[in-house]
Structure 1
Amino acid sequence: MKEVRRQRIAISGIFLMVGIMLGSWFARVPQLRIELGLNFAELGMVLLAQTVGVLLAMQLAGHLSNHLDSRAVIRVTSLVLPWFLPLMAAMPGAITAGLGMLTWGVIAGLLDVSMNAQGVEVERRARRPVLNSLHAVWGIGALLGSGGTVLAVRAEWSLSSHFWVVSAVLVAIALFSGRRLLTEERASSRAEEKAPKVGFLSGWTRAVIVLGGLGAAVALCEGAVSSWGGVFLSEQRGAAANIASLGYFAFIVAQTGTRLVGDRLHRRFGAVALVRWSMAMTGAGVLVAVTVPSVWFGLAGLAMAGVGLAVAIPIISSAVGHGTKSNTSLAIARYSTLHNAGVLAGPAIFGWLAQEFGISAALALLLVPLGVITAFAAATAPASVRAAASTAEPVVSRAA
């Protein structure tokens, strides 16, 4: 178990690295727009290119998973990805920036699939849930990245200097973590015979489609609350700009804090019950925010939504990985295609609803996808690895 603990620390380092990178990046986007001379439409297209790259990566990851295990993919992508920060700061215009973000998205998508596959593999070896804590580490990394950006701005570092320093730190983390990652266990029968060809329809099982739909629904709700919470406080509750900016902060701190204890809650209540209670908490938070005409109750409602939405994605990802009998990375890649579609569509769909019905009504309409997730929560049952743990023999492989 000491070896498994080492491997858990290693994959935690990768999650931390990605969180720091994204926290540093998003906090610098306004300055990046100015330095690259992008208007709002051009900035939107540049950011959209990254999402398109991630979706392309989901398809590529499925094919790569048949030839490379997640450790090999992580070792390469985690060393390449950080250098996109200073690269983006040096782009001369919108077209090159868009191409850069498209490539960033592909690399990031491959890393995302592989690090979640590693998380599932660690759960198998440890015979206990760990994905919630890994996603919590990601959230801590994002907070560290954004906090580091505040310090860099106060120190009057240039955008390029800041990104070079961050990239160097991230590569150091990747080098340390990559050496201790584990090799995925494949079925012995697959090891002895030629791997089957991965086609466009490979991996699209009924379970993956259902879980992907749930992941997309969660992503829609999460994107709506995190992206529009501050706007709701400002427009509907009359909050000053400094107070309205606390909306996202309250959401992400509550979400990260809950994920720190999420694995313990998972073991205590099981995946299905925890998802249902989490959706109930999210719904209660939405209702508190939209029905009580108070800025502080609005902030409390957003925090409650952060608590409720915290464990859903880690549990769903775990269910995808444990529910497959063969290629974990392929299953997660297919699931992530649908999940990322929800990430892409969520803020836009909510914006349309807010335009048509008002922000408060749009928030209240989130009760619909929350109800759907609750109704299909039984699909997350494979994430409850505790029962299998009582009969399974511990498997420990040596990290290279």
Structure 2
Amino acid sequence: MSFNAPARAEAGHPVSRFGARKGATLAFAAQGVSVAAVYTTVPAVTEHLKLAPLLTTTLMVAVALTAGAGSFLGLAAIRRAGPVATTRGAVLTAAAALVLIGWAPDAVTVICAYVLFGLAVGALDVGVNTRAAAIERAYGRSVFGSFYTAWSVGGVVAALLTAGAARLEWPVAAGLGVQAGIVLLLAVCIRTHALPSSPEGPSDTLAQPPLGRRLWIRLIPFGLVLLVVYVVDSTVSAWSAVYLRQTLAASLTVAPLAYASYQAGTVVGRAATDRLVQRFGAVAVVRTAALLVAGALAGMAGAPSWPFAVLAAGAVGLGASVLVPLCLASAARLRPTASEAVLARLNLFNYVGVITGGAAGGLLGSTGQFRLAYAAPAALAVLLLAAARHLVGVDGVPSRTA
């Protein structure tokens, strides 16, 4: 990728690793708030607009599909304007989509709003992860986990706001309006800071070498990890509130708590990720996390009541939390000078997982089989054990380039 245009855009901005890291952290937090706001309000939006269960499932799949398209729009935007400008624009678009979802008067309008959100979050994915990879190179050690901690904190805040709005009997538009305001505030606070040169080259002025077939073969294990993780994440994120509401007879006030617990678990796990990797290594951390995810999903599937399901969701988050940042950080090191292209294409596995988990969870839920929707991914989580040995280089030792 040619960063000549971004380099000119950043001329005159201070060179600061800390400033760049702070801006990226705010962007990750904004993404966490926006995604949680969408997922935790699905029951309220469905009931407000009287949407059919199949249409609700279709909407969640549409968000994932459009996010895949948004990922490549984001890649094009990064090449033209740089990751910071791309991230800021995507965050502003996500905030607008939240407002539109809340105020949508009919099914057609809400479909358009969800599509807009999908495009925004896809572009945001590429922007924030590309910037995070550059910042990690500048630091020369694992810092990816801290960014995803901010993502999870944002998710917890948004989920609790959804629960609070339901408790106060606010209309869905009011709750989403508050969450959109938080996203907008975070976007305004994002500042541009140039990065110093890293041992692998200047962090803000990278050339784009050709990507060979051998690199894509090496990306398969990373894609497998993302695929499985996002099947799990989508099943918990998109449908936990509906699961508590429909299967475990929870109120609209209680229903978002499973998502909040899931994100709280990810906060704890991601806050410890970088230290755990430095102490035990990426392979051991990933394998332990995979076993925890499998057991916790089985607990959600067999939950006798909503409090048990809420606790199990937290355990799923604790285990799943470390997998995405470790996977992305390791994949970015395969080709540091083209990390944005690697991450954009790796995101395809992300969205295939979201679509698979979202569609399967919705279809099983619409037939009253939500418990099976959580039992099935538990078996998939075991596949992560085989892929774990490929996640090297995230403990501060760069992987060999392809």
- TM-score, with structure 2 as normaliser: 0.78
Aligned counterpart, 2:110:
97
Mapped contact 1:45–1:98 kept (Cα < 8 A): no
Q: Distance in 1 between matches of 2:178 and 2:372?
A: 44
* Deviation string, structure 1 residues 241-262 (Cα, Å, up to 9, x no partner): 3698765554332232221212
Q: 1:309 and 2:314 equivalent?
A: no
Give the count of matched residue pairs.
Answer: 381
Instruction: Give the structure with higher Rg (CA).
Output: 1
Displacement after TM superposition at 1:332 (Å):
0.7
Aligned counterpart, 1:328:
339
Aligned counterpart, 1:81:
94
Return the match for 2:61 from 48, 63, 76.
Answer: 48
Aligned counterpart, 1:172:
185
Return the match for 1:378 from 366, 386, 389.
Answer: 389
Aligned counterpart, 2:6:
none
Aligned counterpart, 1:263:
274
Aligned counterpart, 1:59:
72
Q: 1:143 and 2:156 equivalent?
A: yes
Q: Distance in 1 between matches of 2:206 and 2:301?
A: 58
Aligned counterpart, 2:143:
130
* Deviation string, structure 1 residues 342-374 (Cα, Å, up to 9, x no partner): 111024346778999x77777555454333211
- The percentage of aligned residue pairs carrying the same residue is 22
Q: Distance in 2 between matches of 1:89 and 1:230?
A: 17
Displacement after TM superposition at 1:108 (Å):
1.4
Aligned counterpart, 1:31:
44
Assess, with a 3 A threshold, how the Cα gap between structure 1 residues 183 and 107 changes in structure 2: closer, same or farther: farther
Q: 1:252 and 2:260 equivalent?
A: no
Mapped contact 2:160–2:256 kept (Cα < 8 A): no
Q: Distance in 2 between matches of 1:168 and 1:293?
A: 37
Return the match for 2:250 from 241, 244, 247.
Answer: 241
| AA of the residue aligned to 1:148 | L
Return the match for 1:387 from 389, 393, 397.
Answer: 397
Assess, with a 3 A threshold, how the Cα gap between structure 1 residues 160 and 122 changes in structure 2: closer, same or farther: same
Assess, with a 3 A threshold, how the Cα gap between structure 1 residues 331 and 183 changes in structure 2: closer, same or farther: farther
Assess, with a 3 A threshold, how the Cα gap between structure 1 residues 107 and 254 changes in structure 2: closer, same or farther: closer
| AA of the residue aligned to 2:334 | G
What secondary structure does 2:51 align onto? coil
Assess, with a 3 A threshold, how the Cα gap between structure 1 residues 270 and 47 changes in structure 2: closer, same or farther: same
Mapped contact 1:11–1:181 kept (Cα < 8 A): no
What secondary structure does 1:241 align onto? coil
Gap regions ≥5 residues in structure 2? 1-14
Aligned counterpart, 2:10:
none
Once the two structures are overlaid, the 10-residue window that deviates more, 248-257 or 275-284, is: 248-257
Mapped contact 1:213–1:339 kept (Cα < 8 A): no
Mapped contact 2:39–2:237 kept (Cα < 8 A): no
Q: Distance in 1 between matches of 2:61 and 2:242?
A: 21
Displacement after TM superposition at 1:107 (Å):
1.7
Aligned counterpart, 1:369:
380
| AA of the residue aligned to 1:106 | L
Q: Distance in 2 between matches of 1:88 and 1:114?
A: 23
Q: Distance in 1 between matches of 2:37 and 2:137?
A: 32
Assess, with a 3 A threshold, how the Cα gap between structure 1 residues 287 and 260 changes in structure 2: closer, same or farther: same
Once the two structures are overlaid, the 10-residue window that deviates more, 365-374 or 318-327, is: 365-374
Mapped contact 2:40–2:238 kept (Cα < 8 A): no
Aligned counterpart, 1:7:
20
Mapped contact 1:208–1:334 kept (Cα < 8 A): no
Mapped contact 1:219–1:343 kept (Cα < 8 A): yes
Q: 1:114 and 2:127 equivalent?
A: yes
Aligned positions of 1:339-350 closer than 5 A: 339-349=350-360
Assess, with a 3 A threshold, how the Cα gap between structure 1 residues 25 and 203 changes in structure 2: closer, same or farther: farther
Aligned positions of 1:254-293 closer than 5 A: 254-286=265-297
Assess, with a 3 A threshold, how the Cα gap between structure 1 residues 173 and 305 changes in structure 2: closer, same or farther: closer
Once the two structures are overlaid, the 10-residue window that deviates more, 179-188 or 25-34, is: 179-188
Displacement after TM superposition at 1:319 (Å):
1.2
- TM-score, with structure 1 as normaliser: 0.78
Mapped contact 2:159–2:257 kept (Cα < 8 A): no
Aligned counterpart, 1:22:
35
Q: Distance in 2 between matches of 1:279 and 1:178?
A: 36
Q: Distance in 1 between matches of 2:81 and 2:214?
A: 16
Q: Distance in 2 between matches of 1:307 and 1:108?
A: 23
Displacement after TM superposition at 1:8 (Å):
1.7
Q: Distance in 1 between matches of 2:48 and 2:304?
A: 40
Once the two structures are overlaid, the 10-residue window that deviates more, 179-188 or 15-24, is: 179-188
